[in-house]
């Protein structure tokens, strides 16, 4: 038997039928013979990847053709190897059942050898082309996934670079935005018990969160870098960074991904809103504040508390958590507080401050 030669599996309990079919294809194929379903399955275990087609009888001892079809359906073989029934069974119900189990074609006994040859070769060609197209689709899908991942990583790099520009202007290390992104992802992952978000949505939101303070690039240095408390007038100017950030986003005319743009815009505008309506700039109340903005807000507050800034020293993790849970940093969504409290211990070592 030639190892490089493709094979046909002939399954029939009548020896003369196997001989006739073997003689038809022996010049182009190695022909494997099986006199019942069990023998056919054993042949498949050994030669599965070399078999081009199965010629199958229905009525056989030990294991009939229908059971063979059920087994090949169960393990997925029938998707890759075509099966033609060569049978004397004329029952229409059995014919429909066989087609339902994935049979490619029927040839009735007694058969015309020339017709069998044509139909078998046509079926093999069709399946080969189908498998070729499916493989090409798989390769194209894999390449698209790789391209999307490259684009995603490039976009993330640009987002980090843009946001880090603001952080450096604030005389900070640039690590704040990276920590906020990690915190947002961690908190959102816990929040799915309250708000159903997919893994892709969580990834997009955490990525978008790095732009939350992009509007600070428009705030004068005298206010942005002031080491002490801001005056009322200065604080009003500082608050405009939420609006200025949205103006920057609008000027970019980004339409590639509307959902992603929405996350960026709403986080930028609403990450200083508060559950009780005492935030800014729009004084939104409760769930009128998008959940992605709410989560970015608590992540931003936690990191700001535990980081050294020009106007303050760093609080410990325990102090920061206590201040947030006691409402000293403004009121947050009770569900958000519940999720934050459940993961508070994991936050301490999740990020390393470089300030």
pLDDT digits (tens, 9 = 90+) for 267-314: 999 999 999 999 999 999 999 999 999 999 999 999 989 988 766 788
**How is 288-332 classified by DSSP, letter by letter?**
GS-HHHHHHHHHHHHHHHTS-BTTB-PPPHHHHHHHHHTTTT---
The architecture CATH gives domain 170-347:
Orthogonal Bundle (1.10)
| CATH of the domain spanning 7-139, picked from 3.30.56.10, 3.40.50.2300, 3.40.47.10, 1.10.10.10 | 3.40.50.2300
pTM for this prediction: 0.59
Mean pLDDT of 98-104: 88
Integer Cα distance of 230 and 236 in angstroms: 9
Per the omega criterion (within 30 degrees of 0), is the bond before 110 cis? Answer: yes
The sign of the CA dihedral 81, 82, 86, 87 is positive
pLDDT digits (tens, 9 = 90+) for 1-18: 555 678 999 999 989 989
Mean pLDDT of 328-354: 85
Domain map of the chain by residue range? 7-139, 170-347
């Amino acid at each position: 038997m030639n190892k490089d030669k493709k094979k046909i599996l002939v399954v029939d309990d009548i020896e003369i039928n196997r001989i006739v079919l073997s003689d038809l294809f022996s010049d182009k194929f190695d022909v494997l013979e099986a006199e019942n379903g069990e023998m056919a399955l054993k042949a498949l275990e050994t030669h599965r990847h070399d078999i081009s087609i199965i010629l199958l009888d229905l009525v056989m001892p030990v294991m009939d053709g229908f059971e063979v079809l059920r087994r090949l359906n169960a393990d997925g073989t029938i998707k890759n190897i075509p099966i033609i029934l060569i049978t004397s069974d004329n029952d229409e119900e059995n014919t429909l059942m066989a087609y339902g189990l994935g049979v490619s074609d029927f040839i009735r006994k007694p058969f015309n050898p020339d017709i069998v040859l044509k139909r078998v070769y046509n079926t093999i060609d069709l399946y080969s082309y189908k498998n070729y197209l499916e493989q090409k689709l798989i390769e194209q899908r894999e390449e698209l996934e790789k391209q999307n991942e490259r684009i995603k990583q490039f976009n993330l790099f640009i987002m980090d670079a843009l946001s880090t520009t603001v952080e450096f202007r604030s005389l900070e290390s640039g690590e704040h935005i990276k920590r906020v992104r990690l915190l947002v992802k961690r908190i959102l992952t816990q929040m799915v018990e309250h708000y159903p978000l997919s893994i892709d949505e969580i990834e997009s939101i955490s990525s978008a969160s790095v732009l939350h303070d992009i509007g600070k690039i428009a705030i004068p240095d005298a206010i942005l870098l002031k080491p002490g408390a801001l005056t009322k007038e200065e604080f009003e100017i500082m608050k405009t960074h939420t609006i200025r950030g949205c103006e920057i986003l609008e000027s970019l005319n980004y339409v590639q991904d509307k959902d992603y743009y929405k996350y960026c815009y709403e986080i930028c505008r609403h990450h200083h809103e508060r559950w009780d309506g005492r935030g800014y700039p729009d004084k939104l109340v409760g769930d009128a504040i998008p959940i992605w903005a709410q989560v970015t807000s608590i992540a931003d507050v936690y990191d700001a508390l535990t980081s050294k800034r020009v106007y303050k020293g760093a609080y410990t993790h325990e102090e920061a958590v206590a201040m947030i849970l006691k409402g000293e940093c403004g009121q947050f969504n009770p569900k958000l507080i519940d999720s934050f409290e459940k993961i508070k211990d994991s936050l301490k070592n999740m990020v390393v401050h470089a300030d």
